[in-house]
Structure formats: C-alpha cells, structure tokens
C-alpha cells in the first residue's frame, strides 16, 4: 500500500471540455481532458475570491473509452490517478514541460435536485 501512496492524486472537479479520444494502430485508446477545481478564500477586504486550477488528465485503454462514453463538458467527476511529468522539444526549439494526471479510476457525480 505504501507504494500506491507515493504518487497518488485524487480530485473532484468539473470537466472543462469534452473528452478527446485517440486511437492507435495497435488498438490502444487514449483520452485527453481538462478538469477544473475551485478553491475559495477571503481577501484582506473581506471579499470571497474563487481561484480555479486547471488540470490536464490522460487515460488509457478501457478507462479512456469509458470516460469518452460517459463524460461531457461541465460534468462533475471524481478521479484517482498519479502525476506524470515529461518534456519535449517544441517547434520553436525550446524544451516544453508538461505535468499530467494519469487517471486510473473515475466516477461521474450525479446532480441532485
């Protein structure tokens, strides 16, 4: 269990866009999406401020397929996964750095009236 806690992320937020699904020649599916989480704080003037963080999510295989089938922009969703960082050389010749959450499990939170 200690190994699974070393790199573990759990978030609840809202889908910022519809899921983008990609298929590869070997049949593997990949889903890319963005998740918005909100924090609130009170500034020194007593005003309530909302701060939104955007998270890049990636899912593979069956998880990717299920996310594409069940999630759309605006849905509230809980995800569990791990952080992954990578870099690549951009077209401008500069190294770009990306941090993503690799989703292992998720569930859509149903709205109640």
Question: Averaged in consecutive runs of 10 residues, what is the pLDDT profile of the chain (113 residues)?
Answer: 78 97 95 96 94 97 96 97 94 95 95 70
pLDDT, position 111: 79
The 3-class secondary structure across the chain, one letter per residue, is: CHHHHHCCEEEEEEECCCCEEEECCCCCEEEEEEEEEEEEEECCCCCEEEEEEEEEEEEEHHHHHHHHHHCCCCCEEEEEEEEEEEEEECCCCCEEEEEEEEEEEEEEECCCC
Domain count, the chain: 1
pLDDT, position 77: 97
pLDDT, position 2: 62
The domain of 96 spans 2-109
pLDDT, position 6: 86
pLDDT, position 95: 96
State the CATH number of the domain containing residue 40.
2.40.50.140
């Amino acid at each position: 269990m200690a190994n699974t806690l070393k790199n573990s992320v759990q978030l609840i937020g809202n889908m910022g866009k519809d899921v983008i699904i990609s298929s590869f020649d070997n049949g593997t599916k990949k889903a890319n999406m963005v998740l918005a989480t909100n924090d609130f704080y009170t500034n020194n003037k007593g005003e309530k401020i909302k701060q939104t963080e955007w998270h890049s999510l990636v899912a593979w295989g069956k998880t990717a397929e299920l996310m594409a089938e069940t999630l759309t922009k605006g849905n509230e969703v809980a995800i569990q996964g791990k952080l992954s960082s990578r870099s690549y050389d951009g077209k401008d010749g500069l190294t770009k750095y990306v941090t993503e959450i690799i989703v292992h499990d998720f569930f859509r939170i149903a709205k109640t009236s």
